[in-house]
Chains A and B, each alone.
Chain A
Amino acid sequence: MSPNQKMAWGNVIVWGTYLVVSAIVLAANGTIQFWQEDSLKNAFFTITGVAIASFTIMMSFVWIRASRARVTIDERDHKIMNRANALAGPIAMTALAVTSLVLGLVYVEDKNSVMSSYFLMYVTLINVVVYWLAQAIHTLVAYRRN
């Protein structure tokens, strides 16, 4: 298995779990605005912190092992990663637009004239997570096909 595939598997496990757990926590509390309650805010930050720590450990582990084994990256790897990045960008942008739209509608429905400063952090986070996940899924599919 190439380092790209290992990283892709790690991304799918870490960020897939993160999205599922976050969705369950938010659904259980009946709101997507996690910043409204202190307990929900703490839970969300804990889940995010654990995901970031797992991602960092996983990346370091794969990188160190690949450096020690002196794994070379060929033309096929470059091509797969370029295609994965090209595909992940528009998917992440769509996720960003949908999240903004949903949150915007929530504000409009509530007739609020102000929004939380967490709003931007939220949409940025969703954008990054969806990008990594889409990139990882495409990488795994592409390696399997090739």
Chain B
Amino acid sequence: MAPLQKRALISLSMGLALAIALVVVFVTRDISTFAADLGFRLIVYALWIGVPVAYLLLINLTRLSKLKQVDERDRLIKDRAPRIQWLAVIFTLAVWYVVLNEAYWNKGQIPVVYLTLIFISILVISALAESLGILIGYWRMNRNG
């Protein structure tokens, strides 16, 4: 497995773990309590900051930080991944727009607490999409030769 592919796999696994943890936290505790409950906010912030820090530590403390064996194929895959990342962000924003508009149609305005949630979700989706883009790139190259 190429070093870039290995890094993408670790990033995807940790990103998925973070996404699942955030979903579980928000399902078990209602979003409306986010602004009022300090404990709830601290759990979310700890997850949001802690997981990327853990990822950076893992990458920098292991051999994965040295991407010396990067060839033309790796560069091509790495260059294509941001497009998938950008499309994922656009679709995430579109989904938020539709869901929040429909949920608060009668009120006409959306609680400002969703700003934090939107921001967190975009960062998580963006990291997941980049890793997924790299892994799909390797998968396609191995398949098509």
Which A residues are closer than 8 A to B by beta carbons? Answer: 82-83, 85-90, 92-93, 96, 100, 104, 107, 112-117, 119-121, 123-124, 127-128, 131
Rounded to whole Å, the gap between the CB of A95 and the closest CB of chain B is 11
Give CA–CA (A124, B101) in the complex, Å.
14
The listed residue (A88, A119, A123, A127) touching B110 by CB distance below 8 A is A119
- Looking at chain B, what size class is its interface with the partner chain? 20 to 34
The listed residue (A115, A116, A124) touching B90 by CB distance below 8 A is A124
Q: What chain A residues lie within 8 Å of B78 (beta carbons)? A: 86
Shortest Cβ distance from A110 into B: residue: B112
Q: Say yes or no: B111 contacts A114, CB within 8 Å.
A: yes
The listed residue (B35, B76, B90) touching A127 by CB distance below 8 A is B90
Say if the beta carbon of B82 comes within 8 Å of chain A: yes
Shortest Cβ distance from A124 into B: residue: B93
Rounded to whole Å, the gap between the CB of A89 and the closest CB of chain B is 3
Say if the beta carbon of B109 comes within 8 Å of chain A: yes
Which B residues are closer than 8 A to A by beta carbons? Answer: 35, 76, 78-83, 85-86, 89-90, 93-94, 96-97, 100-101, 104, 107-112, 114-115, 118-119, 122, 126
- Interchain Cβ contacts under 8 Å between A and B, 9 examples: A85-B80, A85-B86, A86-B83, A88-B82, A93-B86, A96-B122, A115-B112, A117-B108, A120-B93
Q: Which of A120, A121, A124 has the most CB of B within 10 A?
A: A120
The listed residue (A85, A121, A127) touching B83 by CB distance below 8 A is A85
Q: Say yes or no: A115 contacts B93, CB within 8 Å.
A: no
Q: Say yes or no: A131 contacts B86, CB within 8 Å.
A: yes
Q: What chain B residues lie within 8 Å of A83 (beta carbons)? A: 79
Q: What chain A residues lie within 8 Å of B122 (beta carbons)? A: 96
Q: Say yes or no: A96 contacts B89, CB within 8 Å.
A: yes
A117 and B126 in contact (CB under 8 A), knowing A85-B79, A93-B86? no
A115 and B115 in contact (CB under 8 A), knowing A120-B100, A124-B93? yes
Shortest Cβ distance from B101 into A: residue: A117
Q: Say yes or no: B112 contacts A107, CB within 8 Å.
A: yes
Rounded to whole Å, the gap between the CB of B103 and the closest CB of chain A is 10
Shortest Cβ distance from B84 into A: residue: A89
Given pairs A104-B119, A119-B110, A127-B86, 5 additional interface contacts (CB within 8 A): A82-B79, A83-B79, A85-B83, A89-B85, A115-B115
The listed residue (B35, B82, B100, B115) touching A100 by CB distance below 8 A is B115
Q: Say yes or no: A112 contacts B126, CB within 8 Å.
A: no
Give CA–CA (A116, B109) in the complex, Å.
5
Q: Which of A89, A100, A113, A123 has the most CB of B within 10 A?
A: A89
Q: Which 6 A-B pairs have the closest CB atoms?
A: A89-B82, A114-B109, A86-B79, A120-B97, A89-B86, A82-B79
